[in-house]
Amino acid sequence: MAIVHRLPVPTDTPYRLGRHVGHDVRAAHFPFAQSRPVAEVTTTWSYTVPVLNQWQTSSCTGNAMAGFLNTDYCAPTRRAKNVSWLTEKDALQFYSVATHEENDPSDYYPPNDNGSCGLDVARAAQSLGWIDGYSHCTEFDAFRAALQSQPVLVGTVWTNAMFSPDSTGQVSPGPLDDSTIVGGHEYLALEIHYDTRLLWFLTSWGPDFGKGGKFAMSFDDFAGLLAVQGDVVVPHGVALP
C-alpha cells in the first residue's frame, strides 16, 4: 500500500483539502538525484493560463499535476498533444486514476471522495501518457535543487493559519500540532528567491486566493512543513504520441 498515513479530509474548512502521505517502499526506488551541493540561484517558473479551482472536491493532487502541466515549462508537451491548457476535468481524471492506485474500492473517485497522495497522482499521469516517470524527495536541499531545475509538486500538512495569506500573499503555518493541523494539501512550487528567502507556490483554489492563486512561504516555514511527513514529486519527461 502506498498510503501509510491518511490525513483528515475536512469539509468545513474555507477551502477543500485532500492530500494523504504516501511514503511507501516504491518511492525509495525513485529518489531525486542531487549530485552536488545546491547553488543558490533564484528561479521562477511562469504560469500564464487560468488558475484551476477544485471547489468542494478533494482533488488537490490531481489539480497540482494539472497545474504542473499548465506551466510554461510544459507548454511543448501541451502543444505536442494539441492541448491549449488542462482544465478541471483533466485534474479530476488524474485524481480518479490516482485513487485507483490503491486497489481499494472504498476510496475510488467517483463516487467516493477521500483524497489521494502525490506519488499516486504521479503514477496516474504516467499511465495517462502525460509524463515518462517521476522522482521523489523529502529533504529541503533536494527540494531546492529540484525546483531550480523545474516546477515540482509538494505535499504537506496544512494548518488553519495557512488559509489566510497576509497582504503580500505570504502564509505562516504557526505551530504544527494536533490543534492546528487540519489536513493535508498538494500544491505546485514555482519560485525560489534567495534575496527574500521566500518560496512561491500555486494552489488550486482559484485566482482569489493569495496573489492570483499564488502564495508565498519562508524557507524556514516550508522546511518545517517538509519535515512533518512532507514530500516533493518531480515529474520527468513527456510521453509524446
Q: Does the residue 16 lie in any domain? A: no
Binned at pLDDT 50, 70 and 90, residue 37 comes out as confident
pLDDT for 23: 67
pLDDT, mean over the chain: 90
Residue 141 in any domain: the answer is yes
In a domain, 40, yes or no: no
Query: How far apart are alpha carbons 47 and 131 in whole angstroms?
Result: 18
Model pLDDT for residues 56-101, shown as the tens digit of each residue: 999 999 999 999 999 999 999 999 999 999 999 999 999 999 999 8
Q: Is residue 142 part of a domain?
A: yes
Q: Residue 36 pLDDT more than 90?
A: no
pLDDT of 8 reads 66
pTM above 0.85, yes or no: yes
Q: Is residue 8 part of a domain?
A: no
Arithmetic mean of pLDDT, 152-167 = 97
Element (H, E) at 94: helix 88-100
Q: Write the Ramachandran bin of 115: left for phi over 0, alpha for psi from -120 to 50, otherwise beta.
A: left
Q: Provide the domain count of the chain.
A: 1
111: CATH = 3.90.70.10
Q: Please tell me whether residue 190 adopts helix, strand or coil conformation.
A: strand
230 vs 176: CA distance, rounded Å: 12
Whether 164 maps to a domain, the answer reads: yes
H/E element, 181? strand 181-193
Domain containing residue 209: 21-29+52-235
